[in-house]
Amino acid sequence: MNNNNRPIQTTLYLLISICIFVVSCSSVWRSIKTHIIPIKIVGQENGLVLMKFTIDTPSAKTVHLAGGFNNWTAPGAAYSKNPRNRPIPLYKDADTGFWTVIIALPEGSYSYKYIINGTQWVNGK
């Protein structure tokens, strides 16, 4: 092999290695990041507003919603027979991979958090 080509070959290997590193890092970052998507009002039902809560958290196994509307009831917590005081599970959308739920609430402003894997509380927007 001609020694004159060695710097070019080394540079090429280095560039390929950097590209592989960047691609693998972006895949890892995508799998661990959490992105909160703003609430959408998707309709009305019986005088209540249908609100869609969505979070993009690809590595989650479970996601629940807690807020003033369910007395901050988390999964695993003791809760009353009142259906308003129950954990609210989100469901993973097969098309987008986002976790989502639509709930009917009286019109108003609400504080809420997402509970990821039963332990990590993430502020909503």
pLDDT at 34: 79
> In whole angstroms, how far apart are CA 83 and each of 14, 68, 74, 86, 118?
60, 14, 13, 6, 20
87 or 30: which carries more pLDDT confidence? 87
| pLDDT tens figures, 100-116 | 999 999 998 889 999 99
pLDDT at 96: 87
pLDDT at 77: 74
User: For residue 13, what pLDDT band results from cuts at 50, 70 and 90?
Assistant: low
pLDDT at 76: 79
